Amino acid sequence: MTNSITNFVPLSNVNESCTTCPQQVEITDFTKYDHHAFKLRYRSNSIISASTTEEEKPLPVIKILGTGGTIASKAQSSNVTAGYAVDLTIEELLSHIPDLSTTCILEYEQVMNIDSKDMGLPEVAKLYKQIKEDLSKYDGIVITHGTDTMEETAFFIQSTINTDKPIVFCGSMRPSTAISSDGPMNLYQAIVIASHPESHGRGVLIALNDRIGAGYYITKSNANSLDTFKTVGQGYIGNFVNDEVKYYFPAAKPLGMTYFELGEQFNLPEVPIIYAHQGLNNKILELSLKEMNAKGLVIASMGAGSLSAETNEFLHNLVTPGFPIIYSKRSMDGMVPLGGLPRFNGKVFDNAVAGGYLNPQKARILLQLCLNEGYDLSKIKKVFKTV
């Protein structure tokens, strides 16, 4: 990092007659690569600027990584909740949340500022590398992210970064300009959650609308509602009420996870997802595998691994030995068990792999990571057997 610039900026929402309120905030701007990183530190009468006694515990230092999304978007009017554009920085978002001077020390960095529909492997890799770089320096990480693909990024980070420090994703369903925008509260809650000592050892978290869920399982269930992120079978792990973080269970990460250590440079193999439906034209399977040079396939099956006999027969004749086909499911909840896989001549289709509880988009990421690691079909089956 180069060119450090420090400024003290008056807080716009401070009551000047309050002698115990922080009166200024220190913002240090570090020019870094192609973007800026900032260190936010309250001063004056705040706890940070006061002397620390031996009995006082130091405040946790939390890093916010901004990637864009609806939480950083503006619309043309306050009643518009669709068709908006990403237009806000992390610095602007932080100006709309309550004082955190007695909760944590904040630093923040704008890693990118895009709609999450544009989040591809290069963008996820950039975020992954930033988290890896920052993790040893901070007590927790908060990531602002669009909700459309948040669950995929959270699953990828959970599968590739093994830490007990809290990594908390947050976003919003309404743009910043909307009536009752949910972004500021979701960001505030995510920071408090990342600062909380009981958030350690729980894996990657997603925090929206007062709910705390495991990034490994949680999924976006509604295209419009604020209460969109659900884990029907596994349930939420906690909630946020009136400035209090409440967990329902002792700290634990989801069972059955496999961690993958990625190098500085990586390029995951191509794995398409095919959504099954009545009257599926099997030609799309052949086109996907041959034209895309796919190394594996994920099927969003009907029910718990259900595909028509014709489609299963087509796949059986299409693929070569060792080619993995993950049988996932269209439904949000439930699982694909081993017993749901197709059989030929009394034996389970050897290429078929039960997707367990994972939805198709998460099964795809897990298969890509397995293939990137060089796992053969037998090892891939062992990995998926635990999910």
Which amino acids are annotated as binding site, given as ranges?
Answer: 116, 147-148
CB 213 within 8 A of CB 237: yes
CB 324 within 8 A of CB 367: yes
Tokens, residue 118: 């544009």
Sole residue written with tokens 């595909």: 307
Cα 85 to Cα 74, 173, 220, 258, distances in angstroms: 6, 13, 20, 36
Question: Closest by alpha carbon to 202, among 235, 158, 240?
Answer: 158
Size (the chain), residues = 387
Residues 6+ apart with CB under 8 A from 151: 206, 215, 218, 219, 220, 229, 361, 362
Distance CA 346, CA 250 (A): 44
Question: Closest by alpha carbon to 33, among 111, 98, 108, 85?
Answer: 111
Tokens, residue 194: 């990342």
Question: Closest by alpha carbon to 21, among 13, 29, 33?
Answer: 13
Catalytic site positions: 70, 147
Q: For residue 330, how many C-alpha atoms fall within 13 Å in the half-sphere facing its CB?
A: 10
Amino acid at 212: I
Beta bridge partners of 299: 274, 327
Distance CA 79, CA 204 (A): 33
Cα 200 to Cα 58, 132, 140, 164, 353, distances in angstroms: 17, 17, 9, 5, 33
Beta bridge partners of 170: 144
Distance CA 274, CA 318 (A): 15
**Packing angle, helices 150-160 and 121-134, rounded to 10:** 50
